[in-house]
Amino acid sequence: MQFSAAQIALLIQGKIDGNPDAVVESFGKIEEARSGQLTFLANPKYEDYLYTTEASVVIINAAQELRQIVKSTLIRVPDAYSAFATLLAKYQEIQNQQMVGIQQPSFISDKATLGMHVFVGAFSYISDHVTIGKNVKIYPHVFLGQGVIIGDNTILYPGVRIYHGCKVGENVTIHAGTVIGGDGFGFAPQADGTFKKVPQIGNVVIEDNVEIGSNATIDRATIGSTIIHRGAKLDNLIQIAHNAEIGENTVIAAQTGVSGSTKIGKNVMMGGQAGIVGHITIADGTRINAQSGVTKSVKSPNSAISGSPAFDYTSTLRSQAIFRNLPELEKRIADLEHALRQLLAEKESIS
Amino acid sequence: MQFSAAQIALLIQGKIDGNPDAVVESFGKIEEARSGQLTFLANPKYEDYLYTTEASVVIINAAQELRQIVKSTLIRVPDAYSAFATLLAKYQEIQNQQMVGIQQPSFISDKATLGMHVFVGAFSYISDHVTIGKNVKIYPHVFLGQGVIIGDNTILYPGVRIYHGCKVGENVTIHAGTVIGGDGFGFAPQADGTFKKVPQIGNVVIEDNVEIGSNATIDRATIGSTIIHRGAKLDNLIQIAHNAEIGENTVIAAQTGVSGSTKIGKNVMMGGQAGIVGHITIADGTRINAQSGVTKSVKSPNSAISGSPAFDYTSTLRSQAIFRNLPELEKRIADLEHALRQLLAEKESIS
Amino acid sequence: MQFSAAQIALLIQGKIDGNPDAVVESFGKIEEARSGQLTFLANPKYEDYLYTTEASVVIINAAQELRQIVKSTLIRVPDAYSAFATLLAKYQEIQNQQMVGIQQPSFISDKATLGMHVFVGAFSYISDHVTIGKNVKIYPHVFLGQGVIIGDNTILYPGVRIYHGCKVGENVTIHAGTVIGGDGFGFAPQADGTFKKVPQIGNVVIEDNVEIGSNATIDRATIGSTIIHRGAKLDNLIQIAHNAEIGENTVIAAQTGVSGSTKIGKNVMMGGQAGIVGHITIADGTRINAQSGVTKSVKSPNSAISGSPAFDYTSTLRSQAIFRNLPELEKRIADLEHALRQLLAEKESIS
């Protein structure tokens, strides 16, 4: 796809400074961009590159002053980074809209229902009674089990697997290799030391506008639903156990795990590699530091916690600072003991 | 599939109280169940729902007394939850038995051997000299490398990959995306700073009745076998390194990692996100807390450990409690130092 | 494949002691090897097995003295383990060279370019403008997005997914289920509490001689490239975030995560389950202990760090040792307080 500076200026409502017919067909960083590429300058510390870049078109802040001559065509907007991001989003939207049709070989049950403008990549597998909304993009190697429902405009990247009965909302993005609806980890101990599987007959419900990274796992509920509420963003390699619930607009960084039946509130931020035990509740707006181990419910909203086991963030920082000096702390105690022993010895010798 | 209350009562040896012809075709939680659904009441705190539920059939404890009229047909059994679970397990068994045959397109070597009543989903790949037992269910997108052996009644969910030469026992369940038999992580440092791969020519042996979650990784041995002993249950995203051994009926929660050549005993319970260093031994019945970092062998059976580095569970709890109060502890030391300085100063001024 | 002792001796430049026509067709550990197998004896503590093994051929150190009669044919070399490893590597190379051709059904764009002696397994998907070098082995179920470039002699195991625009060098090995080039985790908070996706238009560049384990995830850069430099070795289930850079010959153990824009130097060793925050720099040769949480740049090369938050390895060990004795430490403080109170009380009563 090719765009002229004039077309781009129109899309982002910018003002052209240079040749409106300059044409770009890809994107680059300002320090690496070549002729035929579009870039942007937002951070003043990169200004020098503006005078040396080969980029054909550069989006810059309206307020940017020029110290030298610029070869590239400039497009001035109030916020260059935000305009660039908007442009990219539109570009990807256009690219997605161009993906339409059913590639062969694929396996689509004649009992499945597909909406308009759907794309199904080769080697994808769509079981009986699956319902797929309009504009849905299903990359190759996707598996959708019986009765799965996929909302409009959702994108499933290669190798996503969704077990039977799970529901995915609209405008959801799930990255490659993620597994939705595998059995929850439930086994009842038997008298002879073996374990008997507890059937997992619930499902997973993913609401609208959720994004989930690559190779994550979200288990189906024992009974009822494991729920990812609207707008939540989950990074790669995350584990969400059976019957857990992730609140609206909550953001979870990579490799974090949420145990069974735990309910995470809205607008929670969780760092990477954190772990949350089962059957607790995390209040709205809680910030959980990376690698935390959360063992108790967090009841007051908007608090910050850290550590394993996790407690108040600021107190944890203080304890961690002293932890680093424990050898010195021990020495101070030994010194005190020594001084006291001397005092007592002197007293003894006097009396 | 549809079942009448009479059929269900027969399966779980229960006593009907109501219409034996009431028909159900799916399951639900008592607080959400609709007409045509089966549910159960085990926990007395949900009793109120018994009088309002729309469920057509409810399994309840024989001892349950009724305070009001119930619309649903009741089936009374000694233990409602256990009866419900049994029923679900039978239901899933029936469903599995109905999956039979080879879907197309699939890739099955003519040098592979398949047992009776096997299901192979579309896009699955079965290499030369693979042997598959009877009643095995292979979902779509499964890869079985050369010479892989799969025992009777085993279920491989979509996208399971088993590298060449690995052996999987009977009644094993492996969830989507799990990789069995990838190369162990072995590289010999060279004089120039690069690393030379140590060939990994062993395999993985998974014994009977093992269950493994989604997107887990179990590496093949350098030489010999990485072994998951019978009845072990492994959750999602678990890493088992080359030549490790996991004992009978050991249970490992999500995102835990076991390093190379470590031997975990029988009936061990490991929490999530724990890590075990290589070349150590963990005694039977050890309980390892979530997020523990185990750096030494555990020699006495049935002990509990916690922390990173891990030591005795109770002692760890005590240390962690004091850790939280380290700032106060430091203040007590400062107070002592102050008091002592004063004492010494007074002594000085007296003498 | 079958090899005689004479052929093997030629390959590893060894000296035969016994029947040069003895034939082997597989490998085994010395304590388990059967007739028709090749094994080796490197560690003197296994010498006893030399006299009982059923192996047809045993590679031993030239210096090894024999205390009894050995049935097997021996091949003497300066370093038995290294010779065995060399042999295995050659064996696997031969096996790989035999994998050639395009299996059906596969999906290969007519706009893709494939080199000589390439293998493409069934159900693999190769998009438009993909370029694949010579001798590349692509197992089944691999996905290569638009414009992906794969260098000579690279091996992609089943179910590897590489998103559009990513570049993989020569002699690279990527194990099953690993995802390269999924979107970086970038979302801009909006005034209403929702998040707006920041388009991720960069790519991933993997240089020559890199090996990556199973089910790992390496995200594409927001702009520019996430880079894995030559010779780096990454284990299973590792997360590398957008715009991160992993230095030459750096080794990272399983389940470790590197956050966005962080630059790891050369010859760094990272233990398993470690986490590194974003936007920091780790000096060449740093050793990072398993489960560390690295929150600050490491500036001096070849240092070792540990703990969460991580600091100097030796100091961490000392602090951890005292942590274990915190209850005792607290008791010493209480004793001091008690002794001091007594001293003060006595002083009072005297005056």
DSSP secondary structure string, B202-256? Answer: -EEEE-TT-EE-TT-EEEPPSSSEEEE-TT-EE-TT-EE-TT-EE-TT-EE-TT-
Q: Please tell me whether residues B84 and B159 are part of one structural domain.
A: no
- B175 pLDDT exceeds 80? yes
% of chain B surpassing 70 pLDDT: 100
- Three-class secondary structure assignment of chain A: CCEEHHHHHHHCCCEEECCCCCEECEECCCCCCCCCEEEEECCHHHHHHHCCCCCCEEEEECCCCCCCCCCCEEEEECCHHHHHHHHHHHHHHHHHHHCCEECCCCEECCCCEECCCCEECCCCEECCCCEECCCCEECCCCEECCCCEECCCCEECCCCEECCCCEECCCCEECCCCEEEECCCCEEECCCCCEEECCCCCEEEECCCCEECCCCEEECCCCCEEEECCCCEECCCCEECCCCEECCCCEECCCCEECCCCEECCCCEECCCCEECCCCEECCCCEECCCCEECCCECCCCCEEECCCCEEHHHHHHHHHHHHCHHHHHHHHHHHHHHHHHHHHHHHHHC
The whole-angstrom separation of Cα B322 and Cα B243 is 39
Nearest CA in chain B to C254: B239
A98: left (phi over 0), alpha (psi -120 to 50) or beta: alpha
Quote the minimal CA–CA distance from A128 to chain B in Å. 13
Averaged pLDDT of chain B? 95
Are the beta carbons of A312 and A305 closer than 8 angstroms? yes
3-state secondary structure of B326: helix
CA dihedral (A76, A77, A80, A86) positive or negative? negative
Are the beta carbons of A148 and A156 closer than 8 angstroms? no
CA-angle at B303, arms to B297 and B307, nearest 5°: 70
Q: Please tell me whether residues A165 and A275 are part of one structural domain.
A: yes
Quote the minimal CA–CA distance from C258 to chain B in Å. 16
Quote the minimal CA–CA distance from C241 to chain B in Å. 18
**Inter-chain touch C211–B199, beta carbons under 8 Å:** no
Q: Which residue has the tokens 């350098």?
A: B222
Q: Please tell me whether residues C128 and C190 are part of one structural domain.
A: yes
The whole-angstrom separation of Cα A350 and Cα A335 is 23
Q: What is the pLDDT of residue B90?
A: 85
- C235 pLDDT exceeds 90? yes
The whole-angstrom separation of Cα A125 and Cα C263 is 40
Q: Please tell me whether residues C66 and C192 are part of one structural domain.
A: no
* Token output for C88: 């295995």
The whole-angstrom separation of Cα A182 and Cα B213 is 7
Indicate the residue of C27, C103, C236 with minimum beta-carbon distance to B107. C103
Q: Which of residues 59-78 of A touch B (CB under 8 A)?
A: none
Residues of chain B in contact with residue C140, where contact means CB-CB under 8 angstroms, are 107, 125, 143
* Structural domain that includes position A124: 101-315
DSSP classification of residue B104: S
Quick one: CA torsion of C39, C44, C46, C47, rounded to 10 degrees? Answer: 80
Domain count, chain C: 3
3-state secondary structure of C342: helix
Residues 6+ apart with CB under 8 A from B301: B265, B283, B284, B285, B286
Residues of chain C in contact with residue A345, where contact means CB-CB under 8 angstroms, are none
Q: Choose, from A117, A164, A242, A279, the residue flagged as catalytic.
A: A242
Task: Output the furthest CA–CA distance in chain B (Å, rounded).
Answer: 103
* Token output for A134: 């309009």
φ and ψ at C291, to 5 degrees? 65, 10
Q: Considering only CA atoms, which of B207, B85, B95 is closest in space to residue B154?
A: B207
* Structure confidence at residue C324 as a pLDDT band (50, 70, 90): very high
CA dihedral (A139, A141, A142, A147) positive or negative? positive
- Give the length of chain A: 351
**Inter-chain touch C89–B237, beta carbons under 8 Å:** no
Q: Please tell me whether residues B36 and B125 are part of one structural domain.
A: no
Choosing from B98, B115, B139, the residue where a domain stops is: B98
Strand partners, A217: A179, A239
Burial B267-306 (b: 16+ CB within 10 A, else e): bbbbbbbbbbbbebebbbbbbbbbbbbbbeebeeeeebbb
Q: What is the pLDDT of residue C88?
A: 84
- Judged on CB neighbours under 10 Å (0-12, 13-18, 19+), B2 is exposed
Which amino acid is located at C180 in the chain? I
Count the neighbouring beta carbons within 10 Å of the beta carbon of residue A345.
Answer: 10
The whole-angstrom separation of Cα B152 and Cα B166 is 15
Q: Please tell me whether residues B112 and B40 are part of one structural domain.
A: no
Are the beta carbons of C211 and C233 closer than 8 angstroms? yes
Q: Does the beta carbon of C313 lie under 8 angstroms from any beta carbon of chain A?
A: no
Q: What is the pLDDT of residue A17?
A: 95
Are the beta carbons of C197 and A175 closer than 8 angstroms? no
Strand partners, A4: A23
Averaged pLDDT of chain C? 95
Write out pLDDT tens, residues B200-254: 988 999 999 999 999 999 999 998 899 999 999 999 999 999 999 999 999 999 9
Residues of chain B in contact with residue A322, where contact means CB-CB under 8 angstroms, are 326-327, 329-330
Indicate the residue of A249, A255, A323 with minimum beta-carbon distance to C255. A255
Q: What is the CATH number of the domain that holds B18?
A: 3.40.1390.10
φ and ψ at C251, to 5 degrees? -120, 125
Q: What is the pLDDT of residue B93?
A: 83
Q: Which residue has the tokens 């469920």?
A: B55
Residues of chain C in contact with residue A139, where contact means CB-CB under 8 angstroms, are 143
Q: Which helix (H) or strand (E) holds B161?
A: strand B161-162
Q: Does the beta carbon of B265 lie under 8 angstroms from any beta carbon of chain A?
A: no
**Inter-chain touch C107–A122, beta carbons under 8 Å:** yes
Are the beta carbons of A60 and A54 closer than 8 angstroms? no
**Inter-chain touch C182–A290, beta carbons under 8 Å:** no
Residues of chain A in contact with residue C197, where contact means CB-CB under 8 angstroms, are 89, 173, 211
DSSP classification of residue C145: -
- C350 pLDDT exceeds 90? no
Q: What is the CATH number of the domain that holds A150?
A: 2.160.10.10
**pTM to 2 decimals?**
0.93
Q: Does the beta carbon of C3 lie under 8 angstroms from any beta carbon of chain B?
A: no
Q: Please tell me whether residues A35 and A130 are part of one structural domain.
A: no
Q: Does the beta carbon of C162 lie under 8 angstroms from any beta carbon of chain A?
A: no
**Inter-chain touch B88–A194, beta carbons under 8 Å:** no
* Token output for B13: 């040896």
Strand partners, C110: none
Q: Which helix (H) or strand (E) holds C39?
A: strand C37-41
Choosing from B98, B117, B145, the residue where a domain stops is: B98
* Structure confidence at residue C351 as a pLDDT band (50, 70, 90): low
Q: Does the beta carbon of C329 lie under 8 angstroms from any beta carbon of chain A?
A: yes
Q: Please tell me whether residues B61 and B122 are part of one structural domain.
A: no
Helix %, strand %, coil % for chain C, to 5?
20, 30, 50
Q: What is the pLDDT of residue C97?
A: 84
Which amino acid is located at A296 in the chain? K
3-state secondary structure of C228: strand
Q: Please tell me whether residues C91 and C107 are part of one structural domain.
A: no
Q: What is the pLDDT of residue B350?
A: 72
Strand partners, C56: none
CA dihedral (A13, A19, A23, A27) positive or negative? negative
Quote the minimal CA–CA distance from A49 to chain B in Å. 36
DSSP classification of residue C207: -
Q: What is the pLDDT of residue C1?
A: 76
Q: What is the pLDDT of residue B351?
A: 65
Which amino acid is located at A304 in the chain? A
The whole-angstrom separation of Cα A139 and Cα A158 is 5
The whole-angstrom separation of Cα C189 and Cα B258 is 38
φ and ψ at A57, to 5 degrees? -135, 135
- C106 pLDDT exceeds 80? yes
Q: Does the beta carbon of A255 lie under 8 angstroms from any beta carbon of chain C?
A: yes
Q: What is the pLDDT of residue A351?
A: 65
Choosing from B98, B118, B135, the residue where a domain stops is: B98
Q: Please tell me whether residues C94 and C116 are part of one structural domain.
A: no
Residues (pLDDT < 70) of chain A are 351
The whole-angstrom separation of Cα B175 and Cα B217 is 11
Q: Please tell me whether residues A252 and A105 are part of one structural domain.
A: yes
A279 is catalytic: no
Which amino acid is located at B239 in the chain? Q
Q: Please tell me whether residues A130 and A259 are part of one structural domain.
A: yes
Helices (H), chain B: 5-11, 47-50, 80-98, 313-324, 326-350
Which amino acid is located at A162 in the chain? I
Pairing of strands A15-17, A73-77: antiparallel
The whole-angstrom separation of Cα C275 and Cα A232 is 23
Write out pLDDT tens, residues C32-52: 899 999 999 988 889 999 999
N- to C-terminal Cα distance for chain C? 99
* Structure confidence at residue B66 as a pLDDT band (50, 70, 90): very high
Task: Output the furthest CA–CA distance in chain C (Å, rounded).
Answer: 103
Residues 6+ apart with CB under 8 A from C332: A333, A337
